[in-house]
């Protein structure tokens, strides 16, 4: 698989990374440990060198899984993890106090079986802690060699600028896909100006863009999508038009919907690195195959016209979570 650089940070990763959250958290029951290890190692065998986790995925068990799976080839991969919640629990209050950041890093290093975190993100902006203090705390960890690069997640442009002035931000991780294009308005221009890489999560619309989900799909009781407005039965029915158009494009290119959606993201900027996640080997192979799909200028123009003619219905987060993004 081809490599990409996340902005001007010097951090080189595979063109497609792997979002590891779904193996342990968010989309129904966790996979069994052995299956998770095997899938992560299969990703590495297929050229993926960029793996994304967080202390709150579980909590904690996802980092342990990633640490065990990647231990045999630790020096050949880039591991990203995150801090930002009280007790590592995303249902609890935000906490980005400097002493808490340090404690989280020490615990994450042990779970990940490593002596350094390649990319450390603030998971969500904490309104009670100045971003300058957060950046300063991570800068100290970088000086100590425990962290290599600093990242932000779902931060607004002003916060990105303030953080970057204290400690260069290597990457921003936020949602971006064919059905959530908000970053194009202000975030992508800001990142381009500052030389910051972009790591889109949910690049397949939490599975919707694959075509595997329709209005009659039911989710496990523990699946996060049950509370996402965009995934209400009515909104899934309305948004099916996007999946239909994506299918037409995929058929012309002899690819799958997922591959077109990922290839489209890769074509937006050379410093964009999507991190699709999956629990299935055949989906992993499908996703990694997207790195070989080439979209011509004519393809991209046609996709742009199609997307501009579609209005996606439904908020991407319930109200209480929407308050935590874009700050």
Point out the catalytic residue in the list 57, 121, 176, 317.
57
d(CA 198, CA 317): 20
d(CA 15, CA 43): 13
Strands 3-5 and 12-14: antiparallel
Count CA atoms closer than 13 A to 98's CA, side-chain side: 12
Instruction: Tell me whether residue 27 is one of the annotated catalytic residues.
Output: no
- Report residue 39: phi and psi, to 5°: -70, -40
Helix (H) or strand (E) holding 163: helix 157-166
What distances in angstroms separate CA 266 from CA 3, 17, 29, 171, 309, one per listed residue?
Answer: 12, 12, 30, 15, 22
d(CA 285, CA 69): 18
d(CA 126, CA 273): 25
d(CA 259, CA 278): 14
Place of tokens 């971003």: 131
d(CA 163, CA 191): 13
Positions annotated as catalytic residues are 57
């Amino acid at each position: 698989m081809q490599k990409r650089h996340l902005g001007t940070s010097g951090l080189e990763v595979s063109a497609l990374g792997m979002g590891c959250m779904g193996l342990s958290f968010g989309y129904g029951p966790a996979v069994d440990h052995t299956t998770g290890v095997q899938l992560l190692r299969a990703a590495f065998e297929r050229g993926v060198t960029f793996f994304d986790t967080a202390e709150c995925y579980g909590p904690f068990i996802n980092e342990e899984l990633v640490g065990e799976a990647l231990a045999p080839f630790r020096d050949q991969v880039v591991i990203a993890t995150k801090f930002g919640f009280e007790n590592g629990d995303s249902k609890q209050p935000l906490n980005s106090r400097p002493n808490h950041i340090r404690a989280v890093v020490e615990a994450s290093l042990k779970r990940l079986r490593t002596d350094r975190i390649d990319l450390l993100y603030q998971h969500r902006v904490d309104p009670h802690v100045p971003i300058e203090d957060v950046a300063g705390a991570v800068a100290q960890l970088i000086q100590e060699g425990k962290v290599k690069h600093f990242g932000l997640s779902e931060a607004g442009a002003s916060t990105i600028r303030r953080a970057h002035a204290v400690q260069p931000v290597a990457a921003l991780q936020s949602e971006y896909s064919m059905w959530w294009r908000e970053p194009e308005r202000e975030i992508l221009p800001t990142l381009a100006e500052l030389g910051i890489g972009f790591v889109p999560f949910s690049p397949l619309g939490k599975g919707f863009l694959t075509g595997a989900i329709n209005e009659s799909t039911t989710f496990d009781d523990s699946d996060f999508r049950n509370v996402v407005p965009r995934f209400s039965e009515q909104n899934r029915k309305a948004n099916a038009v996007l999946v239909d158009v994506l299918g037409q494009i995929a058929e012309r290119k002899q690819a799958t919907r997922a591959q077109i959606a990922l290839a489209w993201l890769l074509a937006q900027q050379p410093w964009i690195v999507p991190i699709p996640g999956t629990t299935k080997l055949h989906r992993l192979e499908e996703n990694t195959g997207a790195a070989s799909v080439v979209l011509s200028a004519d393809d991209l123009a046609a996709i742009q016209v199609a997307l501009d003619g579609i209005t996606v219905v439904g908020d991407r987060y319930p109200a209480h979570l929407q308050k935590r993004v874009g700050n």
